[in-house]
Structure 1
């Protein structure tokens, strides 16, 4: 039986972008089994517009913004389909038969928990006319606005940490996937058009949230005694990023250090460290993707459907 596909979109005060995206999704053939939309603290008429024009879609309304991470986690738990295609309110498939290919990809790679796809995006204008995105490969992370996830794996591994709100939920989940024997594959045969709206984006804020969440992930997942070295490495790397990207950000780095410190007690309560060999292999995978499945098997050397143990499947939680 063919796997079913849902589409989930989280949006926050970008109704115009959402309207454009949904108009494109209307043209997909085949259509998704279900579409879930979360209006996350929207005050721009998004809720009323969706209810009027798309009453068939499942709409979640967060009166107070929870962030895209928690919004997506909720939609995954509400969905009934086997595969969830995650889009931003300003991204959509390029190929109108995109959803016909997804079940075949997941069937061809039964160990794949996530497929990510190249983006044709205004953020990087050279990508808009790019003819070839190269060969596909196994990766250590992905981007939510252009990815599809096997829902059963998502739920088994505990979903997204809601406290992240936005940013770093993808590498944190990819880490848990690879540690448990699931693959994250970047598939270049399909592409996503990402219009990359400038609305509701703030570069400094995104950097600080990403850096904070990255450090929180270290405290939740990295084993001892390596935790201290990895945490220091993350701090230094994020400082270097701020220095390189915008030197005016450097004097504000202590802002996210304080925010991270405030959240550490909660991180430690959720702490479930992974074996260092798998954590280290994932860090290497982020820097150097793997081309062949044989190399991936040799690197991780575990089966994703083995009986769950505290070592290989440590993040199972109740919905």
Structure 2
């Protein structure tokens, strides 16, 4: 791979939850890359563990080892290159102003440097949807985002009016976003509010954390079902910080099931068949920018989360 000087390098320790996993899996999950790209980086010598290049993609990692990855260069025409169909991207609603989708796990909201996987914007373009031209080139029409590893509802602006009004509505916190999550253990109290600032983790640049100088972050939660060793939560956000729910529940000592990055039990994750955090954006409500009426959308749990929940219920 050429032009290494123009590429970004990520350096981080291997979390405990990744002990014994293959290097291509670890790179893929930690950095949000596809397995194919991760394997290509290993083959090109762009992945090192404790300063030594990984010989093959099947190298097994040890917790605490220092991982360095030279990321691929930003694509010259990232939008055009990612206009490809996205399996599992369901259109929940479509009109002249907006399109609402249920985003599957493993799909980014929009293209970004280092990400070569599927995107919501690319999937919509490939399906023939015309979205707003407002916003940065790689994020046109995007008024809010979901993490790659989180599934659920997103609204994308199609008209210029919708883009402006929805961006303002999200900024002014006039959009109701609700999530369901499975947290390890039983939070005490069973309902409450986490008001704790979030910023970059002081030691690990791939994570976020509750820190004194972070941005204000508020999460409201209710426990709606209890299992041995876990709880199904209903969550509402006042703010939309990166990894907010994951960070807040990790700080409470109740990381989301399957969320190995933030301290989840890998044994429980394996038993439930989880390869990502149990977190789903199931409810979205806002004033329609075209009609002025309140609209509400909901999304069912995807198969992997539904299966994990069924296994928890079977253990009772």
**TM-score scaled to structure 2, two decimals?**
0.27
Pick the structure with more helix per residue.
1
**TM-score scaled to structure 1, two decimals?**
0.27
Higher relative contact order (CA 8 A, sep 6+): 1
